[in-house]
Structure 1
Amino acid sequence: MSEIRRRRQRVEVSRNRAALVSAAVRVLAARPGASMAEIASEAGVTRQTAYAHFGTREALLGAVRDELSRRAAAVVQDAEVESGTATEALERFLSAVGTLLADQAGDAGGPEPDAEAEAARHAAVEESLASLIDRGRDSGEFTTPLETGWLVTATVTLGHAADQRIRAGLVDAAAAAGEFRTAVILLYGAAPRCADGSGRPAR
């Protein structure tokens, strides 16, 4: 087999795997009990190809969990919390979490993520959040008297709580995102911004 052919095969394998994980995220968000055949169809590959890549549905669910964890770690980076005012950065972060909660809504029933991997992913998020909180406190935008480390832990815990409420069927993703947003704003002592971007509290 030529090197060019081997490279093409590796690219195809990588593309199919990524397509299956992406399709699984979408399909499971709508139908948590979706089969491998349904996910494969959404990805544009055969059921046999799906099993060739993952072996079992549980293995695919594990890959979905890893992908959602990766997206969670990217939330703060995508929100660019170092740019603009602390209030603007917080709004971008809250919006990104809302999108993430909607993606994660379909992962109910999957295997639990690796604890060490999750801790490593959280570390970057927590460091950025701590910097944001300190910046908002220094500028007077956040009036909370609570300690920064406690606020970071509380924020992460609230995110998990929102996710659990979705999985339990108590609220939909939009409602959970709204609850999370309100709770974080109150914790930080931040003034919610209006739709027009002004600093006046939203009503």
Structure 2
Amino acid sequence: MSEIRRRRQRVEVGRNRSALVAAAIRVLGVRPEASMSEIAAAAGVSRQTAYAHFGTREMLLASVRDEQSRRSIDVLTAADLETGTATAALGRFIAAVTSLLAQQTRFDSVDSDSTADAARHVPIEQLLGALIGRGRESGEFTTDLDTQWLVAATIALGHAAEQQLRAGHSDVTTVAAQFRCSVQRLYGAETR
């Protein structure tokens, strides 16, 4: 096989994988129980191609979670948490999380790998830990709670917000306001 043909094949493989992940995000956002066949059809590839790339539905879902994690980190990085006051940066963090909550695809019925999920949180934990440290140094965050506790509690509040949305108990605006108020109180951040 020529080098040009191998490159074309790699590009096609990458395109198919990307199309399948994008289709899974769209389809599962509407029908979390959708089959590989449905996802493949939405991606414009055969069911066999979907299985050739991912092996199992669970492996495709892991790739979807990885993609969502990558997008989340991109959104949080774009919030530029190192700029301005810690309180303003916290506001941008909360706004970014709110936008992510409205976009993320949920997989209620699928058990996920807790080790992989924990690894996906590491960059977020690092961003939050640095923000909390900066807020404490400047006197904007007055809590005496441990930083790791604050990080874990913030992530838990994010998951609680997600569950409220998923269950239909609240709309995005209400959840965003409650998340903002809860995190600000947790950090001892003065609101203006």
TM-score with structure 1 setting the length: 0.80
SS of the residue corresponding to residue 25 of structure 2 reads: helix
Give 1:146's aligned residue: 145
Q: CA deviation at 1:173?
A: 4.7
RMSD after superposition: 2.4
Give 2:81's aligned residue: 81
Percent pairwise identity: 61
Partners of 2:34 and 2:152 lie apart in 1 by 34
Partners of 2:38 and 2:23 lie apart in 1 by 9
Give the length in aligned residue pairs: 192
Match runs of 1:6-21 below 5 Å: 6-21=6-21
Match runs of 1:1-203 below 5 Å: 1-112=1-112, 114-192=113-191, 201=192
Q: Indicate conservation of the 8 Å contact 1:155/1:184, yes or no.
A: yes
Q: CA deviation at 1:61?
A: 2.0
Partners of 2:157 and 2:43 lie apart in 1 by 33
Q: CA deviation at 1:17?
A: 0.5
Partners of 1:95 and 1:62 lie apart in 2 by 26
SS of the residue corresponding to residue 136 of structure 1 reads: helix
Partners of 1:163 and 1:8 lie apart in 2 by 40
Q: Which runs of 5+ in 1 are unaligned?
A: 193-200
Partners of 1:124 and 1:58 lie apart in 2 by 23
Partners of 1:29 and 1:120 lie apart in 2 by 23
Partners of 1:173 and 1:160 lie apart in 2 by 13
Q: Which runs of 5+ in 2 are unaligned?
A: none
Q: Indicate conservation of the 8 Å contact 2:32/2:107, yes or no.
A: yes
Query: What do the CA deviations read for 1:134-162 (whole angstroms, capped 9, x no partner)?
Result: 21222232233333222112111112222
Q: CA deviation at 1:91?
A: 1.7
SS of the residue corresponding to residue 106 of structure 1 reads: coil
Equivalent residue letter for 1:139: S
